Amino acid sequence: MPATVITYIIRRLFAAVVLLIIVSMVTFGIFFLMPRLLGATPETLASRYVGRAATPDTIRDMARNLGFYDPLYEQYWRWLKGIFAGADYNYGSGIEHCPAPCLGYSFRTYQPVWPDLMDRLPVTLSLAVGAATLWLLGGITIGTISAVYRGSVFDRLAMGVSLAGVSLPIFFTGLLSLSIFSYGLGWTAVGGSYTDIADDPGQWAYNLILPWITLALLFSAQYARLTRAGMLETMNEDFIRTARAKGLAEPAVVVRHGLRGALTPILTIFGLDVGLLLGGAVLTESAFSLPGLGKYAIEGIVNYDLPKVMGVTILAAFFVVIANLVVDLLYAVVDPRVRAK
Amino acid sequence: MSTQTDGPAAERRLGEDLLVVDGLQKHFPIRRGLLQRQVGAVQAVDGLTFSVRRGETLSLVGESGCGKTTTGRLLTRLIEPTGGRIQLDGRDISHLSTSDMRPLRRDVQMIFQDPYSSLNPRHTVGTIVGAPFRLQKVQTENGVKKAVQDLLELVGLNPEHYNRYPHEFSGGQRQRIGIARTLALRPKLIVADEPVSALDVSIQAQVVNLLEDLQNEFDLTYVMIAHDLSVVRHVSDRVAVMYLGKIMEIADRTSLYERPMHPYTVALLSAVPIPDTSRRERRERIRLQGDVPSPINPPSGCRFHTRCWKAQEVCKTTEPALVELAPGHQAACHFPENAA
Amino acid sequence: MSQNPEDALAAAAEPRPAATGSPFLQVRELRVHFPTDDGVVKSVDDLSFSVDRGRTLGIVGESGSGKSVTSLSIMGLHKAGTARITGEILLDGQNLVGMNPDRVRKLRGKRMAMIFQDPLSAMHPFYTVGTQIVEAYRIHNPVSKKVARKHAIDLLDRVGIPNPTSRVDDYPHQFSGGMRQRAMIAMALSCDPELLIADEPTTALDVTVQAQILDLIRDLQQEFNSAVVIITHDLGVVAELADDIMVMYAGRAVEYSSAADIFNTPQHPYTWGLLSSMPRLDRERTERLQPIKGTPPSLINVPEGCPFNPRCAYAGTNGNLSFTVRPEFRDVGGGHHIACHLGAEDRMRIWDTEIRPKL
Ligand SMILES: Nc1ncnc2c1ncn2[C@@H]1O[C@H](COP(=O)(O)OP(=O)(O)OP(=O)(O)O)[C@@H](O)[C@H]1O
Ligand SMILES: Nc1ncnc2c1ncn2[C@@H]1O[C@H](COP(=O)(O)OP(=O)(O)O)[C@@H](O)[C@H]1O
Ligand code: SF4
Ligand code: SF4
Ligand SMILES: [Mg+2]
Ligand SMILES: [Mg+2]
């Protein structure tokens, strides 16, 4: 069996790499073509890299140095090579080396993108992991109770609220909770601050609690509905009847037999959600002005800063792919029948 | 052969061979590894040779997984064989393409086991039973509706059921709907996969009788797949006993039930529970141990040797051929029972 | 019910050995009704029977006749609020109907256990066979996991699983159908129950495996001396196992007697119908099967009078009685009970002249 698991992982990793390359190509293509469609030339793009008083000659030199005259595929190839081998950039002020993994330099800030991403990752990571823990606990608990007491007041209330939760935009709930809890009641931190967990765990959590809750509310609504549907189905299975026939107490029947059986589809969605969130909870981070990957991506888009956008996109795609791989492997842990295949 | 072989076939005139199967084989590949190389095969059907005469009923029996359904799907060419030949009415249909097969679909029809899942719940009875006419673009005298209503009447349903949906019917009635659908194009050969297994005894008898009546009326040829040996004895002219993709024994009904030669057949027959308490003590039982081995790695020599109570050393090494041990009675065993 | 059929039932069981005091399981005038949008489904309607320790009762009937509903009622497994249950279910003298659900739960798996039809879906796919047996044992016995595991291995060995020490860690999908049913039996027997209910335990299995499982149930019953209720639609299966047989139709008992009587001198037209419609290996092959005409009734609109009257060939024999008056379930001699208006002479004559010769 281990041999089959290993070939399985290798196959999946291979597929993941191919997928990442395709995602990066598409993103590169879009962000390469977009400015051009809007009328930008290699010179106007290069002018962002030189001082305000540059002559057309220096701009052209710059554009040539950055390879802006080269065809699309060559530029893409160079970008790809940078990731694995690093790259050298010439900004007129001399050659600068960007070590692997090199995702290029920001057009705006002249900072290499990779270290920037690594700076912001902890913020996004904290946000995603905290929120995910909350919504998993909340969503699954509410969904399970709803399913067990189907048709009760609790069930109807929970499902009504969750319907609202699924449909309300995060920007709205985010701003609403900010204005109530931070500005109004002063219970929680005002957006825009982030403290590293290593520096002060208390402060870290205090700063993040509001975005966590906001994000978790949104997701738990979806998870509650999903859990409820899954539980209603599982609780009708024959093996539940068997568990009861053994004389098992109802809470154990629900949790050990019911929930365990209903968990698989939730796992799939969870993997996807966490993967996506690690790529930057774009709206939440903006709403709470958290300096994470999402906010970084927005800066990139607003400023036509191709390397930034490429960096975040590829990192997000990477997380999604990895999360999916992990979910697939977890499947085999959760469902022994998968192992046999 | 004894004079007791008279049965339904004696009244019906049996014609020449309608279906001739020779060395029929279906291996489903198992693929593994990085490159999805084939590492083995499920030997679902592994070399079947038999023929069915016009107007005859041949039954295939055997334990779950022995390849009965796969054989049925091969005969109706729902799947393509990996070896051997199927001849229908003198024509080799083993590898006909879907389009070449289409005109022949009129001649070969299949009845499925599960009367609940084999009918589309969103279609009315009229649509379901009339589908073959539309698919084959057959002209009917008084329109499709009349033809369908005639069929419904034929199988003992009310023609007014035309616009109802399958879920409004009981299991037995659904099986009748399925039978009406197969009969639409007046097929020559009907392959029925466990047509009565899902039904209650009282309803089962109704459907069995219906199948017999239809056979007499339209001179149908049946290949019945079943696991209930009592039902099989009732409906068949000849019976083939399968084990792990092979025929162990094939004979006419009386001969097989009265003088079974293959140890596997003997064991199967002795396992059938008899509705008579006085037999409880007297019965001589042969209990097979364990389960059917995997068709991926069938046992060497005689496939039955792992469970056979008569097995000797030679059974493990040499595969016994299916040979005629009495007139019309073939068995594949080195040490047959009841052999003359 | 007029006289006291339970007494008669008890009397029927009396002369047999092993009966000590009142029967271990006694069901009296059980009614299980399900209110639905279309009307009230009367799944079980006035059913009485009893089983003693060391005895096997076979319940036979077509699908929908209320067999499973009966067994689930005994086990207290109907969902709270869906079923309206009245009557009495006495387990060793204690009435389970209306008992505190937690008290019933503590009896389940310990004093009464159940085996289900489809062993694949009846076992949790994500837990090993061993884990599931250990769980069943530890609910009622405060022992360590290690002790329970040892017990599970012993049980698997007892029900004939080869290499139980290693197979105990297999998942249900790694077992064959017959082995799964054996494992289910091991689980049901884990706490040495006094009542074992087997609801179509072999319907999903091949004949060869069915024979193995029936042998196993028979042996285990002798070993544990428990009361066994075996539910099936196959008269052959009950003939193999049962001491007494109850035939059900449309949620009611139509005939109840010792197994030998049911097969040698059945007295109810429905039982006759069942016997004539099945092809039999132990008789000359008949030219034609004799089905019961029509289909079982809807349990929402059970026919007036005798529920079997639309399908019964003798419904007109007693004037209008079969269509207007529900025949009571009564003792017609020697503990043989039937629910039919036909007189004793008519029954004997029909059985001897019309039914038996055609079987
Ligand atoms: N598409 C397939 N791919 C791989 N294996 C298959 C496939 N179809 C059938 N098999 C295998 O072939 C064998 C024979 O299957 P088949 O369905 O013909 O059995 P059967 O005799 O009809 O059994 P049953 O009585 O349970 O219906 C089984 O081991 C089955 O798992
Ligand atoms: N929860 C339920 N709600 C409504 N009807 C039910 C319910 N459970 C069973 N029934 C009905 O009760 C009747 C008897 O069912 P059952 O005991 O399962 O039959 P069987 O004899 O085949 O085991 C059937 O008509 C069935 O549809
Ligand atoms: S050949 Fe040998 S193993 Fe096979 S059936 Fe005959 S006696 Fe048994
Ligand atoms: S009471 Fe009448 S209808 Fe019912 S079984 Fe007896 S004869 Fe038939
Ligand atoms: Mg099949
Ligand atoms: Mg049932």
Residues of B in contact with C212 (CB under 8 A): 287-288
pLDDT digits (tens, 9 = 90+) for B233-253: 999 999 999 999 999 999 999
By the 8 A CB rule, do C151 and C139 touch?
Answer: no
Q: Do C62 and B200 touch (CB under 8 A)?
A: yes
- The domain in which residue B207 lies consists of 9-107+187-331
CA-nearest residue to B66 within chain C is C206
Compute how many other C-beta atoms are within 10 angstroms of the C-beta atom of residue C318. Answer: 17
Report which protein residue has its CA nearest ligand 2's atom 4: C34
Ligand 6 mean position to C231 CA, how many Å? 8
List all chains that touch chain A, counting a touch as 3 or more CB pairs closer than 8 Å: B, C
Q: What is the pLDDT of residue A196?
A: 79
pLDDT digits (tens, 9 = 90+) for B120-170: 889 999 999 988 888 877 777 778 888 899 889 888 888 888 888 988 887
- Distance (Å) of CA C315 to CA B274, C307, C340: 30, 10, 10
Ligand 3 mean position to B290 CA, how many Å? 16
Nearest CA-CA distance, residue B84 and chain C, Å: 29
Does C352 lie in the same domain as C205?
Answer: yes
Provide the number of structural domains found in chain C.
Answer: 2
Whether B124 maps to a domain, the answer reads: no
CA-nearest residue to C132 within chain A is A243
Q: What is the pLDDT of residue C18?
A: 42
Does C222 lie in the same domain as C299?
Answer: yes
Query: Considering only CA atoms, which of B258, C195, C182, B308 is closest in space to residue A245?
Result: C195
Does C21 lie in the same domain as C140?
Answer: no
Nearest CA-CA distance, residue B144 and chain C, Å: 28
Q: Do A248 and C139 touch (CB under 8 A)?
A: yes
Whether B291 maps to a domain, the answer reads: yes
Q: What is the pLDDT of residue C68?
A: 93
Determine whether the shortest distance from the Cβ of C226 to ligand 4 is under 6 A: no
Q: What is the pLDDT of residue C48?
A: 95
DSSP-assigned beta bridge partners for residue B88 = B19, B91
Determine whether the shortest distance from the Cβ of C327 to ligand 4 is under 6 A: yes
Q: What is the pLDDT of residue A164?
A: 78
Which ligand minimizes its atom distance to the CA of C59?
2
By the 8 A CB rule, do B192 and B225 touch?
Answer: yes
pLDDT digits (tens, 9 = 90+) for B28-60: 998 876 667 788 889 999 999 999 999 999 999
Q: Domain ends where: C166, C192, C218?
A: C192
- Out of A243, A261, A336, name the one closest to residue C171 (CB): A336
Does C207 lie in the same domain as C67?
Answer: yes
Q: What is the pLDDT of residue C180?
A: 93
Residues of B in contact with C234 (CB under 8 A): 201, 273
Q: What phi and psi, each to the nearest 5 degrees, are found at residue A135?
A: -75, -30
By the 8 A CB rule, do A287 and A340 touch?
Answer: no
pLDDT band at B220 (very low <50, low <70, confident <90, very high): very high
Tell me the whole-structure pTM to 2 decimals.
0.84
Ligand 5 mean position to B126 CA, how many Å? 28
Which ligand minimizes its atom distance to the CA of B26?
1
Q: What is the pLDDT of residue C146?
A: 96
Residues of B in contact with A6 (CB under 8 A): none
| Average pLDDT of every residue of chain B | 88
**Which residues does ligand 3 sit against, CB inside 6 Å?**
B 263, 302, 304-305, 308, 310-311, 315, 320, 333-335
Q: Do C124 and A247 touch (CB under 8 A)?
A: no
Query: For each of chain A's 341 residues, which pLDDT tens digit applies?
Result: 456 667 777 887 888 888 888 888 888 888 777 777 777 788 877 777 666 667 888 888 878 877 778 888 888 888 888 888 888 876 666 677 888 788 888 877 778 889 888 988 888 888 888 989 999 999 999 999 999 999 899 999 998 888 877 777 666 666 676 667 666 666 666 666 777 777 888 888 888 888 888 888 888 888 999 999 999 999 999 999 999 999 999 999 999 999 998 988 888 888 888 887 877 677 778 777 788 888 888 888 887 777 888 888 888 888 888 888 888 888 877 788 776 65
Q: Do A11 and B32 touch (CB under 8 A)?
A: no
- The domain in which residue C49 lies consists of 1-111+194-359
Residues of A in contact with B32 (CB under 8 A): 4, 7
Does C265 lie in the same domain as C150?
Answer: no
Whether B155 maps to a domain, the answer reads: no
From CA C335, how far away is CA B73, in angstroms rounded? 52
Q: Which of C292, C322, C326, C345 to mutate to test the pocket of ligand 4 (most atoms within 8 A of CB)?
A: C322
Q: Do C206 and B229 touch (CB under 8 A)?
A: no
Does C235 lie in the same domain as C199?
Answer: yes
| C199-212 average pLDDT score | 89
pLDDT score of C1 more than 60: no
Ligand 2 mean position to C299 CA, how many Å? 9
Q: What is the pLDDT of residue C13?
A: 40
CA-nearest residue to C297 within chain B is B170
From CA A286, how far away is CA A304, in angstroms rounded? 18
Q: What angle do CA C40, A230, A133 make, to 5 degrees?
A: 145
What's the full length of chain A, in residues? 341
pLDDT band at B175 (very low <50, low <70, confident <90, very high): confident
What is the residue-wise DSSP string for C41-60?
Answer: EEEEEEEEEEE-TT-EEEEE
- Out of C109, C126, C174, name the one closest to residue A246 (CB): C109
Q: Write the CATH number for C352.
A: 3.40.50.300
pLDDT score of B82 more than 90: yes
Does C346 lie in the same domain as C232?
Answer: yes
CB neighbour list of residue C313: distance below 8 Å, 6 or more residues apart = C269
Residues of B in contact with A10 (CB under 8 A): 34
Determine whether the shortest distance from the Cβ of C185 to ligand 2 is under 6 A: no
Nearest CA-CA distance, residue C137 and chain B, Å: 27
Does C150 lie in the same domain as C86?
Answer: no
Residue A248 contacts C where some CB pair is shorter than 8 Å: yes
User: CATH classification of A116-340, choosing from 1.10.3720.10, 3.20.20.240, 3.30.460.80, 1.10.10.10?
Assistant: 1.10.3720.10
Nearest CA-CA distance, residue C123 and chain A, Å: 5
DSSP-assigned beta bridge partners for residue B189 = B108, B221
Question: b/e map of B78-107 (b: 16 or more CB within 10 Å)?
Answer: eeebbebebbbbeeebbebeeeebeebbbb
pLDDT digits (tens, 9 = 90+) for C233-283: 999 999 989 999 999 999 999 999 999 999 999 999 999 999 999 998 888
Position C103, amino acid: R
Q: Do B33 and A7 touch (CB under 8 A)?
A: yes
Q: What angle do CA B47, B51, B56 make, to 5 degrees?
A: 140
From CA A99, how far away is CA A81, in angstroms rounded? 11
From CA C328, how far away is CA C273, in angstroms rounded? 20
User: Of all atoms in ligand 4, which is nearest to the CA of residue C317?
Assistant: 7
Determine whether the shortest distance from the Cβ of C307 to ligand 4 is under 6 A: no
Does C43 lie in the same domain as C180?
Answer: no
pLDDT score of C178 more than 90: no
Whether B179 maps to a domain, the answer reads: no
Determine whether the shortest distance from the Cβ of B227 to ligand 1 is under 6 A: yes
From CA A133, how far away is CA C99, in angstroms rounded? 42
Residue B273 contacts A where some CB pair is shorter than 8 Å: no
pLDDT score of B215 more than 60: yes
ipTM: 0.87
Q: Of the ranges A149-163, A224-238, B317-331, C23-37, which one carries the lowest mean pLDDT score?
A: A149-163
Q: What is the pLDDT of residue C124?
A: 95
Provide the number of structural domains found in chain B.
Answer: 1
Whether B235 maps to a domain, the answer reads: yes
Residue B279 contacts C where some CB pair is shorter than 8 Å: yes
pLDDT score of C358 more than 90: no
Restricting to B residues 24-43, those with a Cβ less than 8 Å away from any Cβ of A are 32-34
